[in-house]
Amino acid sequence: MRGSNIKNIYVFDQKEFHKEELSQKQRDYINTVRDLKKYNDLRNDIIFKYGENVKCVIKIIFPGQTMEVYDELNQLVESR
């Protein structure tokens, strides 16, 4: 699958969570405020720049939905 090595981490109050670690309240909040276009644009840009097999992490920081991309060496490569 295209971009299957891209992982998401959600950040609330400087604490990081994988999707399965989110509470139902956090999931509901994300679903009501998320900017899916911003996320999809960033994800597609990363795939375009680094290829379909890129391994990276997208950290989505709430409440502002700042998105940071980290490579395999945990180096920040992009922020929006």
Distance CA 28, CA 31 (A): 5
Q: Which pLDDT score is estimated for 2?
A: 85
Q: Which pLDDT score is estimated for 60?
A: 98
Quick one: average pLDDT of 25-37?
96
What pTM value is reported for the model? 0.93
DSSP 8-state secondary structure symbol assigned to residue 35: -
Torsion-angle region of 40 (φ positive above 0: left; ψ -120 to 50: alpha; else: beta): alpha
